[in-house]
Amino acid sequence: MVSEKMLTNLKRSSWIRSMFEQGENLRKKYGADNVFDFSLGNPDLEPPQTVKDALKKAVLSDTPKMHGYMSNAGYLDVRAAVAAKLRQAKGVPVEAAHVVMECGAGGAMNVVLKTILNPGEEVIVLAPYFAEYMFYIDNHGGVPVTVNTDRETFQPDAQKIYDAITPKTRAIIINSPNNPTGVIYSRDSLVKISEVIEKKQKEFGTSICVISDEPYDKIVYDGAEVPSMFEIFKNSIIVNSYSKSLSIPGERIGFIAVNPRISDTSALMDGLIFSTRTLGFVNAPALFQRILPESLDAQVAVEVYKKRRDMLYDIITKAGFKCLKPQGAFYLFPQSPVEDDVKFCNEALKHNLIIVPGTGFGFRGFFRLAYCVDEKTIVNSQKAFEALAAEYR
């Protein structure tokens, strides 16, 4: 009953889930306290109190049709509230007419790709990347084209992107702060990419869309700046969710925002709204749309993630692993002591360490650690990391 294409995709599916499932077996055997699971990027902090209060208020509301259908784009007042925050943060005059509420950033990304892609058109993806991008692109007849970032800094290389752009290039996905590295792409790097795109658009007479995937844009440290994609790229679309910033990943609430400088935004918005309906999302969850206007100024305790970053970074670097200290998100992406990162991560299981090979993110020779875990797990993992590192000295 399962198609050959699906069977192929299942074989290629997420290393993250694979490692997590192996961790489940270890937990059964040794007990949860003796297993150090850094595989899943599942926020463990509770939502801010503001979110909980807004949710209680919405649930108890007697407003008529609270749980009924609305415009496929979402409630107008919610879209207006989201647009107001974007105007403030991005420096571009975004209005409600440029926003579509969606079922998380994953749903949003699929809606965008469905709307803009013709069969066989190419989407540039910067490695290391969130693995699901490949399946999202395939969902809508696109062809992913991988371009590696720098192996030392994980910053994108404008020349490599220039070389990868063809007449079939329709979009480039940019994820900053990045999963899995935690790196924020610098303004200088992004401006150079913008210049490259402008040159190629003129050369080929095409339009290339920058899709900015921004679920970690509020999880930043040390006063770092996340450059505004809307300011840098004219043809840009933001997809975002509140999964990380409000710690509600299971509620599947996010949005698409279209840069008002894009030509014929009206047709693009119509396409996004149509795709939201026909892909089966219909509309973003009504209840969690209702909580947003009162919750947009709320944020999870970023200082907790920062503390965990520093703790885990100190543990692994003192053990001997080479790692760039990230500026955002909640991941570390150390270098594997051997090029075969899959073998290395399987060796780590012997020490009850559950880590994810960089191969799963299109970047061989590294591994990812998600530090959205209890501090006790981080502290107790020290001896395991030291023992693992000692095997490669």
Instruction: Indicate if 71 and 186 belong to the same structural domain.
Output: yes
What per-residue confidence (pLDDT) applies to 14?
A: 64
Q: What is the CATH number of the domain that holds 356?
A: 3.90.1150.10
Give dist(CA 352, CA 34) in Å, integer: 7
Residue at a domain's end among 280, 295, 310:
295
Instruction: Indicate if 198 and 184 belong to the same structural domain.
Output: yes
Instruction: Indicate if 285 and 314 belong to the same structural domain.
Output: no
Q: What is the 8-class DSSP label of residue 65?
A: T
User: How many CB atoms within 10 Å of residue 146?
Assistant: 15
Instruction: Indicate if 157 and 171 belong to the same structural domain.
Output: yes
Instruction: Indicate if 210 and 305 belong to the same structural domain.
Output: no
30-77 per-position pLDDT tens digit: 777 889 999 988 899 999 999 999 999 999 999 888 899 999 999 999
User: Using an 8 Å Cβ cutoff, are 212 and 296 in contact?
Assistant: no
Residue at a domain's end among 248, 267, 295:
295
User: Using an 8 Å Cβ cutoff, are 261 and 234 in contact?
Assistant: yes
Q: What is the CATH number of the domain that holds 88?
A: 3.40.640.10
Query: Alpha-carbon torsion 34, 36, 42, 43, what sign?
Result: positive
**Sheet of strand 331-332, all strands in order from the earlier edge strand to the far edge:** 331-332, 367-370, 356-357
Instruction: Indicate if 142 and 269 belong to the same structural domain.
Output: yes
What per-residue confidence (pLDDT) applies to 367?
A: 97
pTM summary value = 0.96
User: Using an 8 Å Cβ cutoff, are 333 and 324 in contact?
Assistant: yes
Which residue range is the domain that position 139 belongs to?
A: 62-295
Number of domains in the chain: 2
Instruction: Indicate if 118 and 218 belong to the same structural domain.
Output: yes
Q: Taking the CA atoms of the chain, what radius of gyration do you get in angstroms?
A: 21
Instruction: Indicate if 229 and 320 belong to the same structural domain.
Output: no
Token representation of residue 153: 């800094």
- Residue 136 forms part of a structural domain: yes
Helix (H, G, I), strand (E, B) or coil at 320: coil
Instruction: Indicate if 188 and 327 belong to the same structural domain.
Output: no
CA distances in angstroms from 215 to 112, 219, 249, 353, listed in the order given:
16, 9, 10, 27
Helix (H, G, I), strand (E, B) or coil at 300: coil
- Residue 67 forms part of a structural domain: yes
Instruction: Indicate if 304 and 291 belong to the same structural domain.
Output: no
- Residue 53 forms part of a structural domain: no
- Residue 52 forms part of a structural domain: no
Instruction: Indicate if 166 and 225 belong to the same structural domain.
Output: yes
Residue at a domain's end among 247, 262, 295:
295
- Residue 186 forms part of a structural domain: yes
The 8 Å CB, 24+ separation contacts for 347-352 are 347/388, 347/391, 348/388, 349/22, 349/26, 351/384, 351/385, 351/387, 351/388, 352/26, 352/30, 352/34, 352/35, 352/36, 352/384
From start to end of the chain, where are the E strands? 36-37, 99-102, 122-127, 143-148, 169-175, 209-213, 236-241, 254-258, 331-332, 353-354, 356-357, 367-370
- Residue 57 forms part of a structural domain: no
- Residue 97 forms part of a structural domain: yes
Helix (H, G, I), strand (E, B) or coil at 253: coil
Helix (H, G, I), strand (E, B) or coil at 285: coil
Instruction: Indicate if 36 and 163 belong to the same structural domain.
Output: no
Residue ranges in the chain whose pLDDT is less than 70:
10-17, 20
Give dist(CA 269, CA 267) in Å, integer: 5
- Residue 56 forms part of a structural domain: no
Helical (H) or strand (E) element with 114 = helix 104-116
SS3 content of the chain, % helix, strand, coil (to 5): 45, 15, 40
Give dist(CA 192, CA 149) in Å, integer: 14
